[in-house]
Amino acid sequence: MQRASIKYAVRLVALTFALAGSSAGGVEPPRPAEVAAPVENALPKNGPAKPQALEEVVLKSGRSYRGLIESVGPDAIKFVQVIRPGTPEMSVAPRKIWRRVVARTEELPAEQH
């Protein structure tokens, strides 16, 4: 019990010194207007970037996957699905798609791949 209260006291003292030390020395924190960039500079002048072109694999069931084809084998296609949920974030999911369930593929030209 005493050991826990000593640890608590040590943490409290360390936190107090850390907070006191950050405002000491006469250094004034930056003002919000100095930190944030003006809104007009937030976007490029030529507008938002165009989405990257992707390849597509369409299954016989009607489902389709957009991404990049890694390799095409006799039995399966190694594919990396690119998932963009409508936000700037993006995630990828590697997939192995059996050729017997593929209806068609739309591949990019070699220079864009």
Is residue 113 in some structural domain?
A: no
Is residue 28 in some structural domain?
A: yes
Domain that holds residue 16: 2-41
Q: Per the structure, how many domains does the chain have?
A: 2
Q: What is the pLDDT of residue 27?
A: 60
Q: Where are the beta strands (DSSP E) in 8-63?
A: 55-59
The parts of the chain modelled with pLDDT lower than 50 are none
Contact 55, 107 (CB under 8 A): yes
Q: What is the pLDDT of residue 59?
A: 95
Q: What is the pLDDT of residue 11?
A: 72
Tell me how far apart the alpha carbons of residues 82 and 91 are, in angstroms, rounded to a whole number: 6
Quick one: which of 95, 100, 89 has its CA closest to 67?
95
Q: What is the pLDDT of residue 37?
A: 56
Q: What is the pLDDT of residue 94?
A: 93
Do 21 and 60 fall within a single domain? Answer: no
pLDDT digits (tens, 9 = 90+) for 54-68: 899 999 999 999 999
Q: What is the pLDDT of residue 71?
A: 92
Is residue 18 in some structural domain?
A: yes
pTM here is 0.52
Is residue 49 in some structural domain?
A: no
Q: What is the pLDDT of residue 17?
A: 60
